Structure 1
Amino acid sequence: MPPTDASTDAGAGPGPDTDSGAEDTLDFRLPDGDVLTDELLPGLTLFDEEALTVPKRSAPGAGPLGTAAGLPHLAEADLLDSPADWGPAATPAGVFQLVPVRIDRDLPIICRWMNDPAVAAFWDLSGPDSVTAAHLRTQLDGDGRSIPCLGVLGGTPMSYWEIYRADLDPLARYYPARPHDTGLHLLIGGVADRGRGLGTTLLRTVADLVLDNRPRCARVVAEPDLRNTPSISAFLSSGFRFSAEVDLPDKRAALMVRDRALRNLL
């Protein structure tokens, strides 16, 4: 199970579940296994304009979630509709873009974020670079159902994201998943970027990128730890609804859902 979201905006936790979940009727189950996809960065802190355009790539090899059992490789079927090609998005905070991780370029900055106590409390990836590198390589060497990305705002990497197929993830065993449900994990890297609304802005932006570029996806989902009230508050403020509490192997989570049908209302 990938780690939870962490360190977004300050705010209150989830309110009572006003959605009975009656419309969430497809219970999509998977074979046992794990998820994840590609490559990472050494110490870059600024990106120039050219760096915001990343060529489409494919992930090598079969991942640990049983891809040998007939699931296509990313080169054959792009399971996430190429986040590298989604392009930049204008936000009130500046131009934002998801840039797929490269270990050789990005590992130092991501490892530094993972060792921040506020992040480590929820991601559990603190320690030497090898810990973060192993987490990233699991995704990068997989079949493309989870893609780790840097969030680059105004030319500066400032957040880490995992865009993943929730319906093809172990998470699907714990909620009534629908085909092409797309999940988000995120963290805001710098302390100065937290608690001022950026999490809300970027969550809405990334959810919109998913819905704009994945026409088969009807819902964007997330499962932050129930203890992480700033993260849950940011999801609620960015158009997600609180659907249910979910007992996962490593945490009790708030299932957050942003529906395509409600995107212009919430």
Structure 2
Amino acid sequence: MTRLAVDPISALEERGFDIQYLSHAKSILFGEFGEQVHELAAVLSALSLPMTEIIGSGGGETKFTQRTRKSLDARGWKKHNFVVAKSIDGLEREATSHEVDHVRTVPGVGTIGCEIEWNNKDPFFDRDLENFKRLHADGAISVGIIITRGSSLQSKMMELVRRFASERNIVNFAWLAAAGVEPTPKQRAHISDRANRAKDPIDFAEAWTSNFVSNKFGAATTHWEKLQARVSRGVGNPCPLLLIGIPASIVVFDNATVEQLDEENSPSE
């Protein structure tokens, strides 16, 4: 097997990606899966996220996530359903299944499992980490990888949305509609209450920005700090893990009209 000397993950870290290895994952990945690490890094280094896709994210899987998945799939990182069966005297007594969105197997070497949690409810981290733990214990995977929103992207989300509002001259609901954004009735009421209250009203753009970020990318969604909280208390241990946080630097400001998806005011990938 070809072993590549360059560390493409360090190159990602230099670009602002959050990177963490746990339980000797680095040694395993670079010792046994060098080519596959380069495949993953190639996908991540090419990531670009138009601001209009952040604003338009709704109740379905985002275009950004779809592009990332397709790029991984094209390199052989396919969805796979692991079925673990237990038998007594040749008779199957129990079987469990664990679906992983991206799996890369190298014959004679081992298997990597990878999950993308771009913007889901944060308990999905518990599911992913426990799945990886069980699959590793059963010998099904060598390493688990989780990709999520990085610390810089989460911390700068308010700033990014404010910039969008400023550049699109968002001063009322009509201008929001012109940009392709249609808040739900509940969101409209909350924005109006803050912008039009008699005491200490705030700027419309600020009211919308705050409401949008709290609804779409709030503290209870999947992002780097929530993932850190899990692994720091041992969730997923002792499965070797590579954790990757996507940085704010991949966001680009475009002039497209927002294509807003139908939603139920809940985060999704």
The structure whose RCO (Cα within 8 Å, separation 6+) is larger is 2
Structure ranking higher in helix proportion: 2
